[in-house]
Structure 1
Amino acid sequence: MGWLAAIIVGGIAGWLAEKFMKSNMGLLANIGLGILGAIVFNFIFGTLLGLYAAGASFSLGYLFVGFVGACILIWIARKVRS
């Protein structure tokens, strides 16, 4: 996936995760969580289950993976902070 597409998809995924998890973060945190979440979740699913989010530069698979990964990262951050 290209860098621009990764930033756009990561931003959307992070924003969706922020709304779903009722978190309050900024735009850069949304983008970072979305991209990092996609990387982490893709690694976990790819390593453990052999599943990968394949597709074009903008893919619903990457959006879903980024959303789930960002939700997991928000959950982990909340547990660490408390």
Structure 2
Amino acid sequence: MGAVVPAPAWWPEALAATRRRREYTAQLLTHATPSVDHGRLLLEFPAPDLVADWHDSRAGDALDGALEHLGRAMPNEAVSLPA
């Protein structure tokens, strides 16, 4: 077995960024109304800016990972509720 190499200096920043992303995803999801439609998870948000935040933050990737971990993998789509 090779020599043990210490964690890179940037590792704490990566952990913090991962934590923030997960927390932000959870915060956004509190505003969503979920439903399953033809094998996809539809997330209806009350405002278009929340949909934009969802896409800009790539929160869908975090949700994909969580769903896969739970054995419930399916595509997700964020839309805003009609005005």
TM-score > 0.5 by shorter chain? no
Structure with the higher strand share, 1 or 2: 2
TM-score between the two structures when normalised by the length of structure 1: 0.29
Structure with the higher helix share, 1 or 2: 1
- Structure (1 or 2) with the larger CA radius of gyration: 2
The structure whose RCO (Cα within 8 Å, separation 6+) is larger is 1
TM-score between the two structures when normalised by the length of structure 2: 0.29
